[in-house]
Structure 1
Amino acid sequence: MDIVFGGGKYGLEAARHLISEGREFVVIDVDENCPVRVNFDLPEYRKGTRKSSFVKGGMRELIDIFFDLQPEYVFPTAPIHVAGAFLMEHLGFEVWYEGVDFALAGIPMKVVVSAGRGSVVVSYNRDRDCIPKCRAPDVCPVTGIKKPAPMYELVRFAVPDGFVIESHYLQPGLGAIRGERLREMVEWAESRENALVATACRCHGVITALRMAER
């Protein structure tokens, strides 16, 4: 079983890929009439099910279903940093605004897309649109520049004490993160007062700075 978090344009691509591979999945979206639900007429999810289905909801629902299903892959197709939001909802972390500076200290400014509100977004194609279904070659087909390292390695260098989750390409233009890495992230963060967590593929990434909320 896999989970698709977000039932919009990119969630639709993920669902089509999973169907073509004969894999069952659960789609989570705040809109019960999202494109994935409408296109594939998915039934409502029931706890313990192993059939493709839909859940109306957000991060809380993702966490509940994640620990219920123990998915192999999670497709983070909604416009949020799933790893950071997961820790905030599940363990009670909050945004650590000053922590962004620790990430920025090790990242070349030429790959920084934005920085602020607790997160840094990075990309080897910072200023232009990516081509559809890109295969993420060593030389960016848009900029023509050779990448010095996959972005997830650059992020690991920038935040050596952080937790970096690699997004794996399952087909050109479509990536997913392994469920086991999300579980490892939770175990890693449980005893920490602050945490830098990141998700990155070969070309792009996002780093979020978190600290344990005061009780």
Structure 2
Amino acid sequence: MDIIFGGGRYGLEAAEYLASQGKKFVVIDEDENCLVRRELNLPEYREGVEDSAFVRGGIKELVRLFFDLQPEYVFPTAPIHVAGAFLMEHLGFEVWYEGVDLALAGIPMKVVVSAGRGSVVVSYNRDRDCLPKCRAPDVCPVTGIKKPAPMYELVRFAIPDGFVIESHYLQPGLGAIRGERLREMVEWAERRENALVATACRCHGVITALRRAER
């Protein structure tokens, strides 16, 4: 079963896509009356039941269900960096504020949306709204600017010692990350004291700087 983290408008798009593909899924949201649950009338998740369902909760529930369900895809539709939050919850990392400078050193400022509180948000369409159902072509249809490289490659250049998870387009405007890459990230981070982790698609990305929590 796949996992949708966030039960809002983008979570609903993910749920409708998976349903159209005949795939089952679990939606996680802190609001038990979130849009996805209301629209699809999802029952509460019960272990061992293979129908699509809902779980009330946050990152803690995501970590638990991720290792239980071994999903092919995770849809990060809530407004947090799931990869970074996953490592903080599962491995005890904390935000490494100074580490943001390491990422910023390799990123052109013209793609930086925001920087601070341990994260850098980047985008080839920094100042305007994206088109709905965009196919992410090489030339941005909003700015008219040709991308020099997919954003995930630019992020890899910026943090060569970091871990970058590529968000895959499953249909125009809808992306997801492979569960296999999340598992690889955990294995990679287990051996580290500091970690720069990122998630990026062709157009946008977020980098989070983490370090082992002081005991």
TM over 0.5: yes
Partner of 1:66, secondary structure, is helix
CA distances 1:82-114 after superposition (whole Å, capped 9, x unpaired):
000000000000000000000000000000000
> Residue type matched to 2:27 in 1?
V
Q: Residues of 1 paired with 2:121 and 2:172: CA distance?
A: 21
* Contiguous gaps of at least 5 residues in structure 2: none
Q: Residues of 1 paired with 2:124 and 2:40: CA distance?
A: 35
Q: Residues of 1 paired with 2:202 and 2:48: CA distance?
A: 34
1:117 aligns with 2:136: no
Q: Residues of 2 paired with 1:88 and 1:158: CA distance?
A: 22
1:145 is aligned to 145
Q: Residues of 1 paired with 2:48 and 2:169: CA distance?
A: 28
2:183 is aligned to 183
CA distances 1:112-159 after superposition (whole Å, capped 9, x unpaired):
000000000000000100000100000000000000000000000000
How many residue pairs end up in the alignment? 215
1:103 is aligned to 103
Q: Residues of 2 paired with 1:75 and 1:48: CA distance?
A: 21
2:40 is aligned to 40
Calculate percent identity across the aligned residue pairs.
86
Runs of 4+ in 1 over 6 A off after TM superposition: none
- RMSD value, Cα: 0.5
1:165 aligns with 2:169: no
1:192 aligns with 2:156: no
Residues 32-111 of structure 1: pairs in structure 2 closer than 5 A: 32-111=32-111
1:209 is aligned to 209
TM superposition shift of 1:47: 1.8
> Residue type matched to 1:7 in 2?
G
Q: Residues of 1 paired with 2:102 and 2:67: CA distance?
A: 31
Q: Residues of 2 paired with 1:183 and 1:213: CA distance?
A: 21
TM-score computed with the length of structure 2 as normaliser: 0.99
TM superposition shift of 1:48: 3.0
2:31 is aligned to 31
TM superposition shift of 1:51: 1.6
CA distances 1:147-201 after superposition (whole Å, capped 9, x unpaired):
0000000000000000000000000000000000000000000010000000000
Mapped contact 1:3–1:74 kept (Cα < 8 A): yes
> Residue type matched to 2:129 in 1?
D
TM-score computed with the length of structure 1 as normaliser: 0.99
TM superposition shift of 1:49: 2.7
> Residue type matched to 2:29 in 1?
D
Q: Residues of 1 paired with 2:108 and 2:146: CA distance?
A: 15
Query: Relative to structure 2, which stretch is displaced further, 39-48 or 102-111?
Result: 39-48
Q: Residues of 2 paired with 1:161 and 1:51: CA distance?
A: 40
Partner of 1:198, secondary structure, is strand
Q: Residues of 1 paired with 2:72 and 2:51: CA distance?
A: 14
Query: Relative to structure 2, which stretch is displaced further, 47-56 or 205-214?
Result: 47-56
Partner of 2:138, secondary structure, is coil
* Contiguous gaps of at least 5 residues in structure 1: none
Q: Residues of 1 paired with 2:133 and 2:40: CA distance?
A: 22
> Residue type matched to 1:100 in 2?
V
